[in-house]
Structure 1
Amino acid sequence: MSHQRLNAVQASPETYKALIALETYLQSCGLEQSLTELIKTRASQLNGCAFCLHMHTTDARKAGESELRLHLLAAWRESSLYTPRERAALGWTEALTLVAQTGAPDADYDAFKAEFSPAEQVQVTTLIGMINVWNRLAVGFRFQHPKAA
């Protein structure tokens, strides 16, 4: 286990304030909380971000998400527990989180646009970008999650 490298909030409070402003908007833009937590959790799994995984699985449980769906999230493609809308968002999450490898394939976008309005497409895409920013801050600076839930 490594130790935190830097307290990013203390080092650049202005940056943190700007990130929180965007995060606040995304939390209130009308997307379902269950969907946003699934997106944040899946991206954090792909990025290996323990801090964000702890936060978003905890938030998802508080919002009523089941343990089973959280446990199966890494294998969502093989599970029947996710709605078509969730599946489209998870596919898009993977495509954009791994964009250097995937190039954001047309098939993933086509599935995504079939389930989301144009405004929602922008909101979900921004949400995916936002959790990837948080993951990079947390992994890069080695944010430490609480020892207990």
Structure 2
Amino acid sequence: MSTRFDYYKACPEATEAMLKLEEFIKSSGLDAKLYELIKLRASQINGCSYCIDSHTGDLKKMGETDQRLYLLSVWREVPFYSEQECAVLALTEAVSRISEAGVPDDVYEQVMRHYDERQFMVLIMAINTINSWNRIGIATRLLPKQK
């Protein structure tokens, strides 16, 4: 199995647009570690091997524990994530699987206990951005490098 093509070389304008979204999110005040948790959980849902590898490594560099990384896909089953993180992970799952049930009211209300409307929009953009990256990675068969 190999990468189909280099998406950046094929269409740098599209990649630059995606990078502008990343810049917006990084400058929005969203906690960097929380953003990486969003990226990793969405990538797990979408099955993007490159992004799972990349964001796991980024979280490790940020000091995330192995246990929290291993258990992220079952975050509801363990007491290792804060109430705020759980709200964002629930939103990440709902938005990443939007066709299944939309964003249920209980998920929206849980998030709004911790964030205002602007921050909610930043979270939505963060989730949308990683979902887009996942789709680019999967469609072009972007693969992680073996270590």
Structure 1 length normalisation: TM-score?
0.96
Structure-1 residue corresponding to 2:77: 78
For 2:51, give the aligned amino acid.
C
Aligned AA for 1:14?
A: E
* Aligned-partner SS, 1:94: helix
Partner amino acid for 2:6? Answer: N
1:123 aligns with 2:125: no
Unaligned runs of 5+ in 2: none
Structure 2 distance, partners of 1:36, 1:74, is 16
- CA-CA distance at 1:117 after TM superposition: 1.6
RMSD of Structure 2 on Structure 1 (CA): 0.8
Match of 1:4 in 2: 3
1:138 matched residue in structure 2: 137
The size of the alignment, in residue pairs, is: 147
Q: Distance in 2 between matches of 1:72 and 1:131?
A: 20
The 2-side partners of 1:122 and 1:103 are apart by: 16
4+ long deviations beyond 2 Å = none
Please state how far the C-alpha of 1:103 moved relative to its aligned partner.
Answer: 1.4
Measure how far apart 1:36 and its partner are.
Answer: 0.6
- Alpha-carbon distance in structure 2 between the residues aligned to 1:19 and 1:129: 10
1:105 matched to which residue of 2? 104
SS at match of 2:113: helix
Cα shift readout 1:8-35 (whole Å, capped 9, x = no counterpart): 1000001111111111221221111111
Distance 1:29 1:68 in 2: 28
What amino acid is aligned across from residue 33 of structure 2 in structure 1?
S
CA distance in 2, matches of 1:129, 1:74: 19
**Aligned residues: percent identity?**
37
Gaps of 5+ in 1: none
Q: Does 1:53 align with 2:46?
A: no
